[in-house]
Structures are given as structure tokens and as C-alpha cells.
Structure 1
């Protein structure tokens, strides 16, 4: 299982709520956390073969920036 961290521009709990369905719907994501207190607004998750590029694209479609660290 791969541990993945994404740097984002999420700024508030409402932003996190808009991204959570994307995380829940992405096949291969086992669990996730969103740390808005971290300077990089981290989205961390365990991946079992999740398509990270597609996930980043879907987050961008929702209006946010995401890049793999």
C-alpha cells in the first residue's frame, strides 16, 4: 500500500467537503485525511492502485489545485 500526500489550496472546511466525495469515489483509496492546519493543506491517503493523476484532475475540475508531494 502506498502512502500519498497531495499539496492543495483548500482553505476551509467547506472546501474539504467539496473534495471528500471525490476521495470517496476514487477506486483504490483506502482511507484519507485532510489537514487544513498544515501550511500545504495536505490531503493524505493510503492507495491500493488508485489513479493519482485522475484524482488530481478531478480535484482540479472541482476548482482546486492539487499536486503530489
Structure 2
């Protein structure tokens, strides 16, 4: 498993509540977190594939761009 980071438009607790079921289903509960204090709203995920994360975020109505 790799630790991947994504720039997102997840801004607040309400946004996190919206994406929670999608991310929990995609990567598992406790395997992700969003830093809403970071200007890039960085999502950190423990997973093997970035595509699964991006699809889950987009399904929830948000955007994610992988950071290098």
C-alpha cells in the first residue's frame, strides 16, 4: 500500500461527511484523512491505486488531483 496525496475541493466538515461513505467504501475506514487547514485541502490516502480514490471523490461530487 502506498500513501497518496490529492489536492481537493473538500473544504469543511460537511464536505467530509459527504465523501466519507464513498471513501470508506473505496479504501476502507481509517485509511484516509483530509487536511482542511491546508490551502490545497490535501486528502491523504493509504491505497494501492489513485484511480479508485479519484472515482470515489468524483462520485461524491468533488474533485481530486494527485500531488507528486
State the TM-score, normalizing by the size of structure 1.
0.79
Aligned residues between the structures:
67
Answering whether residue 44 of structure 2 is matched by residue 62 of structure 1, we say no
State the TM-score, normalizing by the size of structure 2.
0.80
Does the CA-based 8 Å contact 1:8-1:42 persist in structure 2? yes
Q: Which runs of 4+ in 1 moved over 4 A?
A: 27-30
Counterpart-to-counterpart distance in 1, 2:18 and 2:64: 13
Query: Which residue matches 1:25?
Result: 25
Q: Which whole-Å deviations, capped at 9, do the CAs of 1:25-46 have from their partners, x for residues lacking one?
A: 1147862111100011011021
Q: Which runs of 5+ in 1 are unaligned?
A: none
Output the aligned Cα RMSD: 1.9
- Return 26-35 or 54-63, whichever deviates more: 26-35
Q: Which runs of 5+ in 2 are unaligned?
A: none
